[in-house]
Amino acid sequence: MSAVPADRLLITVAPTGAETTKADCPQLPTTLEELVATAKECEAAGAAMIHVHIRDDEHRPTLDLGRLTDTVTALKESTDLVVQLSTGGSVHDPLESRLKVLDAEPDSCSLTMGTTNFGDDVFLNPWPFVCELYQLSQDRGVVPEFELFDLGQVHALNRLLERYGLPAGGKVHVDLVMGVPGGMNGTTDALVAAVRDLPAATTSWSATGIGRSTLAVMLASLSKGGHLRVGMEDVLTLSRGVPVESNAQLVQRAVEVGQLAQRTPMTPDEARSLLGLDNLR
Ligand code: KMH
Ligand code: ZN
Length of the chain: 281
Q: Angle, to 10 degrees, between the axis of helix 32-45 and the axis of helix 65-78?
A: 40
Once rounded to an integer, what is the mean pLDDT over residues 83-106?
Answer: 98
What pLDDT sits at residue 4? 95
On whether the CB atoms of residues 166 and 179 are closer than 8 A, the answer is no
Strand partners, 216: none
Expressed in angstroms and rounded, the spacing between residue 147 Cα and the centre of ligand 2 is 9
Rounded Cα gap, residues 126 and 130, in angstroms: 6
Q: What is the predicted pLDDT for the residue at 177?
A: 98
**CA pair distance 270, 268, nearest whole angstrom:** 5
Query: How many angstroms is it from 110 CA to the middle of ligand 2?
Result: 7
Domain map (residue ranges) of the chain: 8-280
pLDDT over 80 at 61, yes or no: yes
Per-residue pLDDT tens digits for 20-51: 999 999 999 999 999 999 999 999 999 999 99
Mean of pLDDT values over 107-127: 98
Condensed to tens digits (0 to 9), the pLDDT of residues 76-88 reads 999 999 999 999 9
Protein residue with its CA nearest to atom 7 in ligand 1? 88
Residue 2 scores a pLDDT above 70: no
pLDDT given at position 281: 74
Averaged pLDDT for residues 155-164: 98
**Is 219 near ligand 1, meaning CB less than 6 Å away?**
no
Does any ligand 1 atom lie closer than 6 A to the CB of residue 87? yes
**63-85: average pLDDT:** 98
CB-based contacts of 4, cutoff 8 Å, min separation 6:
266, 270, 273, 274
Atom of ligand 1 nearest to the CA of 123: 3
Query: How confident is the model over 268-279, as a mean pLDDT?
Result: 97
Pocket test for ligand 1, best of 49, 110, 111 (most atoms within 8 A of CB): 110
Does the Cβ of 110 fall within 6 Å of ligand 1? yes
Per-residue pLDDT for 171 more than 60? yes
For residue 199, give the H/E element and its range. Answer: none
Measured CA to CA, the distance from residue 224 to residue 68 in angstroms comes to 35
Is 176 within 8 Å of 208 (Cβ atoms)? yes
In this prediction, residues 172-181 reach a mean pLDDT of: 98
* Atom 6, ligand 1: residue with shortest CA distance: 88
Q: Supply the pLDDT for residue 1.
A: 52
Residue 183: CB atoms within 10 Å: 23
Q: From the CA of 121, give the closest atom in ligand 1.
A: 3
pLDDT at 251 over 90: yes
In which element (H, E) is residue 101 found? none
- Ligand 1 within 6 A of CB of 18: yes
Across the chain, what does the average pLDDT equal? 98
Domain 8-280: CATH superfamily, name plus number: Aldolase class I (3.20.20.70)
Mean of the pLDDT values across residues 205-223? 98
Cβ atoms of 263 and 56 closer than 8 Å: no
Mean local confidence (pLDDT), 154-175:
98
Q: Which atom of ligand 1 is nearest to the CA of 110?
A: 6
pTM: 0.98
Q: Is the CB of 112 under 6 A from ligand 1?
A: yes
Of the chain, the percentage scoring pLDDT greater than 90 comes to 99
